[in-house]
Structure 1
Amino acid sequence: MPLLLLLLLLPSPSRPQSVCEVSQVTSQVEVNCDNRGLKAPPPDLPADTAILRLGENPLGTFSTASLLPLTRLAQLHLSQSQLTHLQMDGTLPALETLDVSHNKLRSLPPLGRALPALNTLDASFNELTSLSHSALDGLSQLHELYLRGNKLKTLPPGLLAPTPWLRKLSLADNKLNELPPGLLEGLEELDTLYLQGNWLRTVPKNFFGDLLLPFAFLHSNPWSCDCEILYFTRWLQDNSNNVYLWKEGVDVKAMTPNVESVRCINLANTPVYTYPGKGCPTLGDADIGYDEYEDEDPFTTAGVTRGGGEMWEPGAHRTRLPTLRRGRVPDR
């Protein structure tokens, strides 16, 4: 009799207990399956799941096919899941956030057709060595793209053309040794750019265009101060209040501008914005919005007026007037 009673108290095999935690976040259903030893999503996910966390599981290869019944799925978190391959099967029409950071991905599949509403893509700290020119095709709603801590050496021209509403772009801590001209062209909403920790020696002329860029992180690159860097030097002078030194765990809006963090590797580590360009044929280029100078040192030129309405008088403290640029005014 005691044995029969014990058997009756055991869970019925026809009613398996869910391995995930289900909770309500505002009006959304969140399912947390983090660190459960899963090799695939569990089959009993609620049909109205909006946020799904599958991080810290030994997933290896992951296909979105099993998630297609989740028509309300808005966030998918797959960080630290030993991902080596991501396969997009079918369409997740409501998915806005995809986090595949801290994995072992060497390439990204085409995402646009499968994730037409994607707003945020975090593929930081993977093993990406390159991106195809069509990697972001179809992601017209993308606002945030994080590719920090990969092994990217170059970027294809036109990579960001399909993402005109992009606001935050992180390419930090890669191996980029050059930037394609026009990479930021058309990104009028871009407000934060992370390029620190690469192998960059210069930037192409007119790289920033007339972009309003409130937060730029450009330090920890081997900037080479010679005649080829004069465009970048002038840009730093005109945007000194928008250049910052990255600090882990600190919100960008709490940081203090630090244009001196961008330094020449070949001139005793002096700040790039102070490079005078002595010996260069010109200190500007009409095509990039800066007037040409006859004097070798712009800081001693009498009454020089440059693009943006600034004037330097000999012996006077330099005063820079505001420059009107295209784009929205950020909340600071």
Structure 2
Amino acid sequence: MTGSREDCFGRLLDGAMQHSMWLMLVILWVAQTVEACPKVCKCSRKSVPEKSEVNCHKRGLRTFPSNLPPDAWILKLGENGITDLKANALRSVPKIESINLERNAIKSIHPQAFSSAKQLMLLNLYGNHITNLPPRGFQDLLNLRFLMLGQNQIGILKAEMFAGMRNLSDLDLPLNALTTLPSNVFKPLITLRVLDLSLNRIKSISPKAFTGLRQLMFLNLDNNSLKTVPAGAFRPLRSLEMLVLDNNLLSTLGPSALNGLGNLQELYMRNNELEHLPPDVFRSMSKLSHLALSGNHLKTVDGNIFAHITDLKKLHLHDNPWQCDCNIISLIQWMGQTKATLSPQDSLRCTSPPELQNKNLNSLQRDKLLCHG
């Protein structure tokens, strides 16, 4: 009996020791998980659900940090000196959802840099030194919604750069070195809603540049070098609600330049070089409520081109060199009938002829407006 009791006690002791060792291993693993954090960074952890936020903002980092907590979901790395993103940089943080890398010195991105980040929703690369995007470098980011690439040196865009990004909703590319938009360049971005291409050097747009962007709602081409818009270029943008073409070099619009924009509500073409508007240029835009044509070279406009825009609420026509002769009568007549708010009416003034210079358009008497042969 004694021997059997000793054996039983021994087995119990062995079992207790094994359980104790297993428990210690679990405690050590948990401790390591909680404590994993780059030395110069601050990590804060939520308990429900278990997630860590890693704040390495402006900490003098020169390379992408290691020793990241495996449950990290937000990673703040802005204003450091990181120069490149190597392959599988995010392998240790499979739950990552948001990465801010703005204002670093990133020049190169390995095509597999983001291959492990299946849950990533926001990637901010604003203000780096990126000249080229890796082909198919974002193809594993199936959940990415927001991609910020502004203030870099990207000069060329190709469709393969955006391969696989079928859930992207917001693409920001202002302040880069783009000069042209080739055919099908955004075709993979079937759910894109916002596209910002402002403050580039875009001179030409392919007629098929916007193919595939059926859900796009906002397109910003402000501050580029566009002289013309090819016929039908905007036709794929059936959902577009706002188009910004301010501060370009547009001197004319073809009759089909704005075709397909039946859902457009706001159109801004301020500070261009427009001298003439085709009679039917706005005919398909029945939903247009805001139209800005100020700061152009318009001398006269046929008022009938606005008659089809039944929802028009605001129209900006100031800072144009209005020639107040018989050709402007239809515009003055329409201005007197419309319910739309016109740009500060006291700023709508004649530039010519000399006898009417600086005269307010609203004060003109139609029967005294002459046309000189």
Which AA in structure 2 matches 1:242?
E
- Note the C-alpha offset of 1:50: 0.5
Q: Give distance in 1, aligned partners of 2:66 and 2:154.
A: 31
- What is the aligned partner in structure 1 of residue 240 from structure 2? 213
- Note the C-alpha offset of 1:22: 1.4
- What is the aligned partner in structure 1 of residue 126 from structure 2? 101
Q: Give distance in 1, aligned partners of 2:240 and 2:191.
A: 14
Q: Give distance in 2, aligned partners of 1:141 and 1:233.
A: 27
Which has the larger Rg? Answer: 2
Which AA in structure 1 matches 2:39?
S
Consecutive unaligned residues in structure 2, runs of 5 or more: 1-35, 286-300, 313-329, 341-373
Q: Give distance in 2, aligned partners of 1:122 and 1:161.
A: 18
The DSSP-based 3-state class of the residue aligned with 1:134 is helix
Of residues 70, 75, 90, the one that matches 1:67 is 90
- What is the aligned partner in structure 2 of residue 153 from structure 1? 179
Check 1:47–1:242 CA distance in 2 against 1; reply closer, same or farther (3 A cut): same
Matches within 5 A, 1:203-282: 203-209=229-235, 211-225=238-252, 228-232=253-257, 241-243=265-267, 259=268, 261-265=269-273, 267=275, 275-276=277-278
Identity over the aligned pairs, expressed in percent?
A: 26
Higher relative contact order (CA 8 A, sep 6+): 1
Q: Give distance in 2, aligned partners of 1:163 and 1:229.
A: 28
- Note the C-alpha offset of 1:172: 0.5
Check 1:266–1:61 CA distance in 2 against 1; reply closer, same or farther (3 A cut): same
Number of residue pairs matched by the alignment? 265
Consecutive unaligned residues in structure 1, runs of 5 or more: 1-14, 244-258, 278-282, 290-296, 321-332
Matches within 5 A, 1:1-332: 18-24=39-45, 27=49, 28-89=51-112, 90-110=115-135, 111-209=137-235, 211-225=238-252, 228-232=253-257, 241-243=265-267, 259=268, 261-265=269-273, 267=275, 275-276=277-278, 299=303, 317=337
- What is the aligned partner in structure 2 of residue 249 from structure 1? none
Q: Give distance in 2, aligned partners of 1:16 and 1:298.
A: 67
Deviations 1:6-53 (A, max 9, x none): xxxxxxxxx997211112478542101111111223322111000111
The DSSP-based 3-state class of the residue aligned with 1:211 is coil
Higher mean C-alpha displacement, 206-215 vs 104-113:
206-215
* Conserved 8 A contact 1:88-1:114: no
Check 1:64–1:80 CA distance in 2 against 1; reply closer, same or farther (3 A cut): farther
* Conserved 8 A contact 2:52-2:74: yes
TM-score, normalization by structure 1: 0.68
Q: Give distance in 2, aligned partners of 1:73 and 1:16.
A: 14
Check 1:120–1:300 CA distance in 2 against 1; reply closer, same or farther (3 A cut): closer
Q: Give distance in 2, aligned partners of 1:17 and 1:170.
A: 35
RMSD between superposed Cα atoms in Å:
3.7
- Note the C-alpha offset of 1:262: 2.6
Q: Give distance in 2, aligned partners of 1:19 and 1:217.
A: 43
The structure whose residues are more often helix, as a share, is: 2
The DSSP-based 3-state class of the residue aligned with 1:229 is coil
Q: Give distance in 2, aligned partners of 1:39 and 1:73.
A: 21
Higher mean C-alpha displacement, 198-207 vs 119-128:
198-207
Q: Give distance in 2, aligned partners of 1:222 and 1:319.
A: 31
Q: Give distance in 1, aligned partners of 2:211 and 2:60.
A: 44
TM-score, normalization by structure 2: 0.61
- Note the C-alpha offset of 1:199: 0.3
Q: Give distance in 1, aligned partners of 2:37 and 2:270.
A: 58
